[in-house]
Structure 1
Amino acid sequence: MHVPGKLLVLAALVALPAAGCGAASSRDRDGVAATPATVRASPVAVLGTSVALTPARAQVRLALRQPDGVDPPVARTARLVLAEGVAWHGGDAPTCSLRTLRSAGPGGCPRGAIVGSGEAIGVADAAKTVGRIVVVNGGPDDVYLATTVRNPVYVKTVVPGRLTAPPGGGLQIDLAFPPDLQTIAGVPLGLQQLRLSIIRGRALTVAACPAGGRWPYRASVAFADGTAARRSGAATCRDA
């Protein structure tokens, strides 16, 4: 799929329609969840969120913070929507299938299909959990976050991402966190931070930055308790 002149994030972290994001009401292929338009607001704040487009990469950071005395909620899906300025040409670059990625890991994919990296940080029973991410091009409509966690137990999984053109224009990525990243060793895992860095190249292209060097974006995360946290901001853009 080519979505001309629009933007994505993936990262992670890392799950939003134009009006928001919520618990999954249906499930698309590869396990990517569709979300209803209205959900209850979460007490969790989406803080420290940023999107920066540099000459070499698109960098995304999503940080969550819950009130004192509230356990970090389990994230099920995340979504980032950005306005025009970026296009995804996954079909024009080397790709890796979800089946290959799950069976052989990123090492089994063509080298050119590796389009970025990242990190997800969560809390499981007060213990910090870090997931290392390899961003993989899945084709015209798909991006995959191959994620490895080594503490408190070893987990190797894939977060599928779907790229679509939302109503009104733009580009969005929907991430669906699999069950093995929602609970680790029988303990609920609360997402606290997701960072992604995606290479600007054949798969992800960026048009000239707008006057003022900023594009609007919307981000949201839907949690297992049926609530969602949202944030709007401005992505920075630098051509040189």
Structure 2
Amino acid sequence: MSTKRRWAAAVVTAAAAGTISAVAMGQSDDIRITVTAKVTPNKAGTPAHPQGVKVDVKGKIYTPPDQDPPTVEAVDIWFPKGGLYNGGKWPTCSQAKLARGGPDACPKTSIMGRGYALADADGVAAKATVTIVNGGSRAVFAYVTLNRPARVREALRVPITKLGSGPWSYKAHVDIPRTLQIVAGIPLRVQSFRGSGGRGDWIATTSCPSSHRWKYHVETSYATGQVVKTDGSVACRS
């Protein structure tokens, strides 16, 4: 029997919007960000009849032009009770295979979503694309591709941890490698991002709380030691 974990929308957001979008999810006195998330359908399923969903995330980030872009080292995302992650039921791809051959080397049915981020690298327009790949019941992989200002390919592992108590059902964690923080000696200034993910019942909902909002919590850790906390929610109905 496959292991079921709740609300894997994390990874798409991972995911969605995967890793690069997660890098941008932070706020401080100097950084302004707007994020919009959507779950389709937003009518929740039940424990007996989970509802498979697709998750879409988009956002914009403003960093003062006279300020060096902040360097993000890690992102942690907490998701609420109210869904299931069925990664154990779907075809998987290993991190080693993904790193060697990219998403084309993986089963097509293991590809669960895609995203991208637009950035400025000291006046050079840069676009990073992210492919979300099923890694089984305990992890998802984000394959990041960047061609400017230098060619970078990274297969990142995003562990999914089930939480036994409190308001959250699980936690997703992603470490941002140095190769995606500073490229060719230039810090990337992420300006916008977008991503979507979901296939069949890979992500499924089982309930909608009385508030009619699925809440999430994000903590972004910077190289300066600062941890920026962000809270948001997505509308739902029973």
Structure 1 residue matching 2:5: 3-state secondary structure: coil
- 1:110 aligned partner: 107
Tell whether 2:84 aligns with 1:87.
yes
Q: Match for 2:5: what amino acid? A: V
Q: Is the 8 A contact 1:130 1:150 kept in 2?
A: yes
Cα distance in structure 2, aligned partners of 1:108 and 1:65 = 36
Distance 1:134 1:90, change over 3 A: same
Taking structure 2 as the reference length, the TM-score comes to 0.79
Deviations 1:123-179 (CA, angstroms, capped at 9, x unpaired): 322333211111100111111111111212221212321111245132222121222
Deviations 1:17-46 (CA, angstroms, capped at 9, x unpaired): xxxx99xxxxxxxxxxxxxxxxxx854446
Distance 1:13 1:237, change over 3 A: farther
Tell whether 2:20 aligns with 1:13.
yes
Tell me the C-alpha RMSD between the 2 structures: 2.8
- 1:225 aligned partner: 224
- 2:4 aligned partner: 2
Structure 2: gaps spanning 5 or more residues:
42-52
Distance 1:75 1:123, change over 3 A: farther
- 2:194 aligned partner: 195
Q: Match for 1:13: what amino acid? A: I
Q: Is the 8 A contact 1:12 1:194 kept in 2?
A: no
Distance 1:164 1:221, change over 3 A: same
Taking structure 1 as the reference length, the TM-score comes to 0.78
Out of 122, 128, 132, which is 2:125 matched to? 128
Q: What is the 5 A alignment of 1:1-240?
A: 1-4=3-6, 8=10, 9-10=13-14, 11-14=18-21, 42-45=28-31, 47-55=33-41, 56-67=53-64, 69-166=66-163, 167-168=165-166, 169-211=168-210, 213-237=212-236
Distance 1:63 1:238, change over 3 A: farther
Q: Is the 8 A contact 1:46 1:64 kept in 2?
A: yes
More helix by share: 2
Aligned residues: 217
Structure 2 residue matching 1:158: 3-state secondary structure: strand
- 1:37 aligned partner: none
- 1:27 aligned partner: none
Cα distance in structure 1, aligned partners of 2:32 and 2:141 = 23
Q: Match for 1:203: what amino acid? A: W
Deviations 1:30-69 (CA, angstroms, capped at 9, x unpaired): xxxxxxxxxxx85444621233211241123354333452
Identical amino acids, percent of aligned pairs: 28
Structure 1: gaps spanning 5 or more residues:
16-20, 23-40
